[in-house]
Structure 1
Amino acid sequence: MRKITQNLKYLFLTIFLPMAISCQKESREQTNTAMPNVVLLLGDDHGWDETGYNGHPYLHTPVLDEMAATGLRMDRFYSASPVCSPTRGSIITGRHPNRYGTFTPGHSIRPEEISIATLMRDAGYATAHYGKWHLGPVKSASPTNPAAFGFEEYLSHDNFFEMNPPLSHNGAEPVIFEGESSEILVQEAKQFMNQALEQGEPFFVVIWYGSPHEPYSGLPEDLALYDDLPEDFGDRMVKLTSNETGSRVERLQREVLQERFAEITAMDRSIGQLREYLDEKGQRNNTLLWYFGDNGTPQEANATVPFRGQKGDIYEGGIRVPAVLEWPDRISRPMVSGVSMVSSDVLPTLCSLTGIPLPDRPIDGLDISPVFDGKMDKRPEPIAFWNARARNGGEGLEEYIDPELQKGTTPLVKLMNGIATRNFQNYRHPDIQEQDFAGARALLDYPYKLVIHGGTGEEAKRELFDLSSDPAEETNLYEQAAERAEQMEAELRSWQQSVLESLTGADY
């Protein structure tokens, strides 16, 4: 009997156990293979007009152009805000940034917000963030650093950066990385993706570039591409930050654009390096690669914007941005979509694709994955925009987070009050007052777009545009279509009420 038992034990150890382990391993690999890798790329101040595929007369963006030609080109994609920090919050949460007090640059996110990185991590993804964070300090003590929002690894900056960026690794003191910043971020991200692949895990990687935000700089070979810009192009003086002093300086726009275009070209090249890496690793087909800008073209770079407004405005020039997505396993042929989409759609879309339940709180974005299959040709709900401010500029309101924890550590060229770092703030709004509904706001229910500036009474400026025939928002139809405009304003007001309820902390 003992001999039979020993023989059975031998058979189990030598035959059945390896088979079981092999089956388990194969099952895990199959599960992970079914979960696409996801890489989100975000340009800093990269406007709709600044790509070759959108018809720019001088810019070289061959990689983005190829992605637009072979993947999904999103022609009507919007940033949730006309400025950067709020848009970044919308990507992380799927919610409008006013819900948690990220009104403008320098306003942090709130620790209670649920992040797409946390959701992806809990679903089995390896998660990492690289580059500009701008939702709070990246230091280890900060309750709003990338790690607090689900990123297991991060190499990040509180704000924007140029060549030779100072970056914090997982909250440590910042260290200078020598080289072109866009390429540095991709190189570092590749190392993380290697580790994830070695461990058999799908990866969720967020790369938020410091380019092409001012002040500008570029490699000699990139600058040389734009040596011969026409004399009549950018023939005016503009104000921006000096790389030498960190203060404001006035320069000829053509020279500024040469440097800005060099940054965009370098960023484009880094995306190509990332795509080549995914090809080499056999991961290109199973990776959803999504690029867009965080707001419209800034004032010093506004030379070819075909729309009204620029960065900071809720007109098209401030919120309509370039966007391309490729995922060969799902999008096997070139597609161009005119569906209205927004940065808040990222979280619900990724949740849908990976089978993750949505957080139990108001979500402003929508799952736009049906666009990938040609099954959505019109957005079923409008998009609301609101460029508001903290009540009374925060005066009289309680700080949401200890100010010491809101102090930044990563330096940048642009000085503010003589300081080379940035601090953050967020305020408690204990109630809702009529003044809280003010600020530039809009409702986009294509083809109509309602735009309101100012307060909430008769003094407010109201405009209604038909974007299908008037993409430059030149003709105000408010009087001719007053009933439609009033209906849209009531819908916008109802949405604002929901946002302000969230702002009071009701969702937590």
Structure 2
Amino acid sequence: MFHPRVPLVAALVLSLFGTPAVADRPNILVVIGDDIGWKDYGCYGHPSIRTPNIDALAAAGLKFTNAFLTTSSCSPSRISILSGRYPHQTGAEDLHMRLPAGGVFISTPLRKAGYFTGHMLKTHYGPNGMKQFDWYGKGVKEFGKFLDKAEAKPFFMWVGFRDAHRPYKAGALKPPHDPAQVVVPPFLVDTLSTRRDLALYYDEIGRMDRDIGRLLDELKKRGRFKNTLVVFLGDNGEPFPRAKGTVYDSGIGTPLVVCWPGQIAAAGVHNGLTSVIDLAPTFAEVAGIRKPSTMVGRSLLPVLKDPSQPGREFIFAERNWHNADEHIRCVRTRTHKLITNAYLDRPFGHPADCSRSPSWKDLLAARAGGRITGDQLQIFRVPRPAVELYNAARDPGEFHNLADQPASSGIRKRLEQALETWRQQTKDFPASRRRRADNVDRVTGVKFTRTIGPQVKEGKPKPLR
């Protein structure tokens, strides 16, 4: 049961932010990009991607520089954020799994507390998730209709953008980004077709930014912007090889910008470790309601008030079935990351949209022609290491595995203990418990069927037909 009465600690914090009454509680607008990299915005230092509206939010609010997702897979990530639980806790850890009966999104206690709740565009969480909102809209242009419906009530709005999910085509943004000006990450091959692929991706980010501006303009026109907590983030990494679907920073790192006029100081920066598992509890505290007992995160309100506060000691993430089955877990500190892999005899299973891309085809061609670098070759290696350990501060690309280095034995032991404790506390399942058949070829990247195989417990998965 959710009590409208505010707990003492929450009341003290909320009094500092001036939200004492239901009518005065802030609106909450969450905008989440689809398949967007964590540093691909002007405010995060990207030299060529045009994101004026996101940059303006960061200038007016708080930018998190070390924010991380709980997984790098579309539906499991969104369900995790909305429920405040890790994917393996939600019962929807695999791609396309629906939120089970009994799963609770933050929209439900907010609605009980008097909020008018809505979501737009991409959902990807199934009927039980859909029914936990009062309103649904198919496009940004309908935001005004939602505000009309909300009337004077505080609102919670979740905008699930489809940008920058593949497939791409020219014309998403005018003028388009110049392939000559893109930044090719070291895990991709620097070819014209890869540059064009990246430029189209940039265009989709630019289009999303334009639509974010339209949402904000509507709020300002109606005089509701100043009492709205705006949060911008992504659901998983950019849709390129060794990014989306991985637990490298390129996969689980996310932009996180929070703007709340008059409550959060402008141009703030928080460099501490942050997990999106903490967003739902933050929304609960902002709204003056008790955090649901199912949520495992903690409120970020103290950090919003004082960005100099330290962040988390550890963040945790996982990868399960996403076109190919995986059981990968990771723990990260400010300086190091440890990854455990279960299926060592197979190459890494990329999401199908990544392995259909021109960038993937260029990697295959470079490998066949002997023109590939050691860093680019890592995603093809078999057997894979059971444990990976990286010094993220010195090796941000996570290319140099230190797991077997004697000098790294101390940090490896510490992180292995932290990961095991987290797995026990969150009741994570072992790799041996269940498997699901792949529907994409791990070597060629070809998706050979749209069928999703059943989970098979304590055994080998049946072949797809």
**Deviation of 1:234 (Å):** 6.6
Partners of 1:105 and 1:214 lie apart in 2 by 16
1:382 is matched with which residue? 314
Q: One-letter code of the match for 1:215? A: P
Q: Tell me which of 39, 51, 60 is aligned to 2:41.
A: 51
SS in 2 for 1:367: coil
**Deviation of 1:128 (Å):** 0.5
1:463 is matched with which residue? 388
Partners of 2:331 and 2:289 lie apart in 1 by 29
1:366 is matched with which residue? 298
| 2:95 maps to 1:105 | yes
1:484 is matched with which residue? 411
| 2:78 maps to 1:127 | no
Residue pairs, 1:71-470, within 5 angstroms: 71-136=61-126, 142=127, 144-147=128-131, 150-155=132-137, 167=138, 185-197=139-151, 200-217=152-169, 219=171, 222-226=173-177, 228-230=178-180, 252-299=193-240, 309-361=242-294, 363-374=295-306, 377-389=309-321, 439-454=327-342, 461-470=386-395
Q: Is the Cα–Cα contact under 8 Å of residues 107 and 133 in structure 2 kept in the other structure?
A: yes
Q: 1:445 to 1:364 in 2, by over 3 A?
A: farther
Partners of 1:231 and 1:326 lie apart in 2 by 30
The TM-score normalised by the length of structure 2 is 0.72
Note the residue ranges of structure 1 that are not aligned, 5 or more in a row.
Answer: 1-28, 137-141, 156-166, 168-184, 239-250, 301-308, 394-437
Partners of 2:20 and 2:278 lie apart in 1 by 28
Q: Is the Cα–Cα contact under 8 Å of residues 340 and 446 in structure 1 kept in the other structure?
A: yes
Partners of 2:174 and 2:260 lie apart in 1 by 32
Q: 1:446 to 1:55 in 2, by over 3 A?
A: closer
**Deviation of 1:37 (Å):** 0.3
Q: 1:63 to 1:490 in 2, by over 3 A?
A: same
1:64 is matched with which residue? 54
Partners of 2:88 and 2:238 lie apart in 1 by 22
Q: 1:252 to 1:490 in 2, by over 3 A?
A: same
1:396 is matched with which residue? none
Q: Is the Cα–Cα contact under 8 Å of residues 449 and 466 in structure 1 kept in the other structure?
A: yes
Q: One-letter code of the match for 1:494? A: T
Q: Is the Cα–Cα contact under 8 Å of residues 63 and 268 in structure 1 kept in the other structure?
A: yes
Q: Is the Cα–Cα contact under 8 Å of residues 336 and 389 in structure 2 kept in the other structure?
A: yes
**Deviation of 1:322 (Å):** 1.5
SS in 1 for 2:63: strand
**Deviation of 1:360 (Å):** 2.3
| 2:386 maps to 1:473 | no
**Deviation of 1:454 (Å):** 2.2
Partners of 1:286 and 1:233 lie apart in 2 by 37
SS in 1 for 2:230: strand
Partners of 2:417 and 2:313 lie apart in 1 by 15
**Deviation of 1:145 (Å):** 4.2
1:306 is matched with which residue? none
SS in 2 for 1:480: helix
Q: One-letter code of the match for 2:275? A: V
Q: Is the Cα–Cα contact under 8 Å of residues 62 and 269 in structure 2 kept in the other structure?
A: yes
Q: 1:69 to 1:111 in 2, by over 3 A?
A: same
**Deviation of 1:233 (Å):** 7.0
Q: 1:47 to 1:490 in 2, by over 3 A?
A: same
Q: Is the Cα–Cα contact under 8 Å of residues 24 and 154 in structure 2 kept in the other structure?
A: no
C-alpha distance after superposition, 1:357-387 (max 9, x if no partner): 22223x3322111111116532244221121
SS in 1 for 2:250: helix
Q: One-letter code of the match for 1:124? A: G
Structure number with larger C-alpha Rg: 1
Q: Is the Cα–Cα contact under 8 Å of residues 120 and 160 in structure 2 kept in the other structure?
A: yes
Partners of 1:34 and 1:501 lie apart in 2 by 40
**Deviation of 1:92 (Å):** 1.1
2:423 is matched with which residue? 496
Partners of 2:268 and 2:412 lie apart in 1 by 33
Q: Is the Cα–Cα contact under 8 Å of residues 51 and 206 in structure 2 kept in the other structure?
A: yes
Aligned length: 369
**Deviation of 1:477 (Å):** 3.9
Q: Is the Cα–Cα contact under 8 Å of residues 88 and 428 in structure 2 kept in the other structure?
A: no
C-alpha distance after superposition, 1:54-95 (max 9, x if no partner): 232321111111112221111111121111111101111100
Q: One-letter code of the match for 1:40? A: V
Partners of 1:55 and 1:49 lie apart in 2 by 7
Q: Is the Cα–Cα contact under 8 Å of residues 48 and 182 in structure 2 kept in the other structure?
A: no
Partners of 1:500 and 1:258 lie apart in 2 by 42
Q: One-letter code of the match for 1:153? A: W
C-alpha distance after superposition, 1:194-216 (max 9, x if no partner): 2213xx20000010001110112
